[in-house]
Amino acid sequence: MKLGFIGVGKMGAPICRNLIKHDHAVTVHDTSPEAQARLTSAGGTAGASPADVTRKSDVVFTCLPYPHIVEEVVLGQNGIAEGIHEGLVAVDFSTNDPGIVRTISAELAKRGVPFLDAPVAGGVPGAESGTISVMVGGDKAAFDKVLPLFKAVGKNIYHVGASGSGAVFKILNNLLGFCNMAAANEAFMVVSKLGLDVDKFLEVIENSSGGSHALERHRRKVLKGNFTAEFTIDLAYKDLGLALKLGEESGVPLQFAGMLKHIMMEGRAIGIGHEDLCAMMRVLEHNVKHEVRSAKR
């Protein structure tokens, strides 16, 4: 099966590499020549544009940072829609707006091409190890066709409903992750301010009812003072906006999302929007005038 991959940034690159490692022929395109070159060096073939990639592919994947970019890459000039052909399936790994997903899906359906929204969870480490979760919305027959490819890049693969459903699941998954991280930041701050052992606290909580996946980032990054971006506050702020939009559309007041918005806005205001999501701790540290760090770092 010939594959195309558009968008090989922090998440797209390791996902694409895993497809190449499974001996798939992959044509790659990215607006960054350097990013594209890294994947051609790994065994991919360069594509001149999204349309060019699509013409050469049985399945074309996108993994892009913002919904409007996905829409432009699919429906814009030299986009995927200009390269579609019989038998093609289009798959979007991005965290997308469900409304934009449904618009794209409807437009491609008019031309006989299924579009699957297939956002992923597990971060850069999960993408590198091939253990990400993939939550897929859209046509079930198209999902079944692409399933072996999903299994090549992820561990937990779910078909969750009609077009846009995968996007909804991913947005709410991220909202939960953001809430868990913000709560953990406050707990670690209290422990540190009281002069207690933050490393021991991490060990205890990881094996107790207060544990969550967010603690993995505390172990790897926060307690070491490493805020180098894997997933930036700016991107998280975008996803939070999508969550708040879902709340408005469904008539559900998302109170925690509102509080998180202010934390992220403050982070952006003090100039750390480009840093990793876990740098939300730096906002709290800025306000409290106290750093939370491991004695072992």
56/59 Cα distance (integer angstroms): 9
Question: Is 151 part of the annotated catalytic residue set?
Answer: no
Identified catalytic residue from 170, 221, 224, 245: 170
Query: From the CB of residue 9, how many other CB atoms can be counted at a distance below 10 Å?
Result: 14
Instruction: Enumerate the active-site residues.
Output: 170
